[in-house]
Amino acid sequence: MSESEQQPWGRVDETGTVFVRTNEGERAVGQYPDGSAEEAMAYFERKYADLAGQVTLLEQRVRRGAPAADVAKAVTKLRESVAEAKAVGDLEALARRLEALSGTAQELTEQQQAEAKAAVAEAIAERTKVVEQAEALAAQDPAKTQWKQATAELDELFATWQRQQQDGPRLPKNEANELWKRFRTARSTIEQHRKAFFAELDAAHRDVRSRKQQLIERAEALAPRGADAVADYRSLLDEWKLAGRAGKKLDDTLWAKFKAAGDVLFQAKAEIDAQEDEAYQANLTEKLALLDEAEKLLTERDPKQARSSLNRLQRAWDEIGKVPRDQIRVVEDRLRKVETHVRSLEDEHWQREDPEKKARSEGMLGQLQDAIAKLEDELAAAEASGDAKAAATAREALEARRAWLKAVGG
C-alpha cells in the first residue's frame, strides 16, 4: 500500500509533507520531521480530533442552554480554526456542524431575547406590585394605622425590593428610576405620617398624664375625710374614665396610685359598715321573726284579712329599721313575695265584685235561663209528638245552654 493511500482524508508524500483532502482539493498542512509517515499522519489526525472535540463540547453547551452570544462567538472562532486547520480529517463535516450551530445560535438569540424581555416585563410587574403596596400603606389614615404592623410590612417590602434588584434582571433605566422614585416617595410619606402620629400621641399622653396626676392629688387629699369622701372619690373615678390613655406602662403606674387613694377611703367605709352590720344584727333577728309570721299569709284566701295583717306587719317592719347589708336583698325578697300574694287576692276579689261585670253576668244568666225553659218545652213537645229528629236537636241545644249557664255561675 502506497503512502498516499494510508488515510482517506490525507496523505504523506516522499518528502514527509502531510496533505489533507477537501472538496476543493488537497492542501499541505505541515511536516513531521524525524518521524515515519504513520507518525506524521497520526500527529495531524490528533489535531483534527482536538478540533472535533471542541465542536462537540460547543454542541453540548448549546443543548444545556448556553448564552446565545457566547455560542455565536465560539462558532466564529471555531470556523476560523477549521478553515485554516493544520489537521487531517473530515473538515467539511466540522464546517457543516458549525453551520448548524450558527443557525441554532440565531434561534437561541431570538429565544433568549424573548425570554429576557418576558423576564424584564415580569420583574417590572413584580416591582410595580411592591410599589403599589407601599403606596397603599402611605394612603392609610395615620390615626387608624396599626403602626407596628405597618412598619413591619414596609420593611418586608423594602427587603423584597432589594432581593428583586440583586437577583432579578436589569430593568430599563427609565422604568427602574420611575419605580424607585414612587417607592421612595411612599416610604417618605409613611415615615412622615408615623412621626406626626407619634408626636401627636406623645402630646396627648402628656396632657392625659397631667390630668390624671391632678386627679390623683385630689383623690389623695380626700384621705382625712375617710368614708365620708367615698362619693367624692366616685365622682373623681368618673373623670378618670373620661380622661383618656397616657400610654400603657404609665397608665398602669398612675392607676395604681389613684386606686391606692381610693382604697384608703373604701377601707374606712368597710370598717364603718362592719360596725353598723354588727349593730343591725338584732334588727335582722326581729325581721326574720316578722317574715315567719308574714309568710303564713301565703295560704290566706280572704283578701280583707290578708291586707289587714300585712299592713300591721309592714308598720312593724319599718319601725325595726335597717339590717346588715348582705341580708337586705334576702329579707326584702321574702316580704315582696307575701305582698304580691295579697295583691293577687285583692285583684281576684275585684274581678268578682266588679259591678259592670256582675251586671253583664246577671243579664246573660237571665237570657240563658229563658232559653233553657223554651228548649225544655220544645223537647217535651217533640217527644210527645214522636218527632225523634226534633227531639234530638232540642236536646243537643238544651245541653249546650246548660253548660254555658254553669260556666257563668248560674
Q: What is the CA radius of gyration of the chain?
A: 58
CB 409 within 8 A of CB 366: no
pLDDT of residue 112: 56
- Predicted confidence at residue 116, as pLDDT, reads 62
Give the residue-averaged pLDDT of 57-85.
Answer: 86
Q: Which cell numbers in the block locate residue 25?
A: 482539493
DSSP 145: -
pLDDT reported for residue 1: 32
Lowest mean pLDDT among 204-218, 293-307, 362-376: 362-376
Give 166-201 pLDDT, tens digit per residue: 887 888 888 888 889 998 898 899 888 888 887 777
Residue extents of the structural domains in the chain: 3-114, 120-198, 201-269, 281-353, 355-407
What's the mean pLDDT when you consider all of the chain?
A: 83
From residue 141, alpha-carbon distances to 104, 190, 245 in Å are 57, 10, 20
Which of 128, 191, 136, 139 shows the shortest CA–CA distance to 161? 128
Residue 336 has pLDDT above 80, yes or no: yes
pLDDT digits over 134-144, tens only?
889 888 888 88
Q: What is the C-alpha to C-alpha distance for residues 299 and 295, in angstroms, rounded to an integer? A: 8
> In this predicted model, which residue has the larger pLDDT, 151 or 408?
151
For residue range 280-294, what is the model confidence (pLDDT) as tens digits? 888 888 889 988 998
pLDDT above 90 covers what percent of the chain? 13
**Residue 74 near residue 58 (C-beta atoms within 8 A):** yes
What gap in Å lies between CA 95 and CA 22, rounded to an integer?
11
Contacts 24+ apart (CB under 8 A), 8-14: 9/48, 9/88, 9/89, 9/90, 9/91, 10/41, 10/44, 10/45, 10/88, 10/89, 11/41, 12/37, 12/40, 12/41
**Is residue 57 very low, low, confident or very high in pLDDT (cuts 50, 70, 90)?**
very high
- Say which residues have a Cβ less than 8 Å from residue 397's Cβ, sequence separation at least 6: 375
**Residue 4, phi then psi, degrees to nearest 5:** -70, -10
pLDDT score, position 3: 46
Q: Is the dihedral of CA 381, 383, 385, 387 positive or negative?
A: positive
Residues 33, 37, 40, 44, CA torsion sign: positive
Q: Give the residue-averaged pLDDT of 37-47.
A: 91
* Cα–Cα dist 31/48, whole Å: 15
In the chain, % of residues over pLDDT 70: 91
pLDDT tens for each residue of 339-390: 899 899 888 888 776 555 554 555 667 677 778 888 888 888 888 888 888 8
Q: What is the structure's pLDDT at 385?
A: 83
The three three-digit cell numbers of residue 210, written as one number: 397631667
